[in-house]
Homo-oligomer: A and B are copies of this chain.
Amino acid sequence: MSNKGYTGHMELHEPELRDVPVTAVLAALADDVRLQIVRALAEGGEYACGTFEFGVSKATRSHHLKVLREAGLTRTRAAGTSRYVRLRRDELDRLYPGLLDAVLTAPTRS
């Protein structure tokens, strides 16, 4: 929040799901771009950040991935210059059974 001038170590902080208010999880899902990302991630496996080309700049994409990560929805692994993202499906399903399925099976309404 108050990091002026880049501290340099890139914390990558992924909260415990229990510590994230439900409203934050819902808010994270309540955006078209992020929902597309989640749908893509739901296919399973890891994806490099660059994979997600949804008509936004890489700055915006980075922002959305941060929101998802800090809402406890994704985990990120750094490898070389890339970063691999995956859905925290098991934890999500355990804490909010049915939520993800409901959202993912919802009509795609492009």
Query: Which A residues have a C-beta under 8 Å from some C-beta of B?
Result: 18, 21-24, 26-27, 29-32, 35, 95-99, 101-103, 105-107, 109
Q: Provide the bound-state CA to CA distance between A27 and B96, in Å.
A: 17
**Distance of A69 from chain B, by nearest CB (Å):** 17
Contacts of A22 on B, CB cut-off 8 Å?
35, 103, 106-107, 109
Q: Which of B96, B97, B103, B105 contacts A26 (CB 8 A)?
A: B103
Q: Are B102 and A18 in contact (CB under 8 A)?
A: no
Identify the closest chain B residue to A34 (Cβ).
Answer: B23
**Distance of A80 from chain B, by nearest CB (Å):** 34
Contacts of A102 on B, CB cut-off 8 Å?
96-99, 102
Q: Provide the bound-state CA to CA distance between A25 and B28, in Å.
A: 13
Q: Provide the bound-state CA to CA distance between A103 and B95, in Å.
A: 10
**Distance of A54 from chain B, by nearest CB (Å):** 14
**Distance of A85 from chain B, by nearest CB (Å):** 20
Identify the closest chain B residue to A22 (Cβ).
Answer: B106
Q: Which of B23, B29, B107 contacts A31 (CB 8 A)?
A: B23
Contacts of A26 on B, CB cut-off 8 Å?
26-27, 29-30, 103
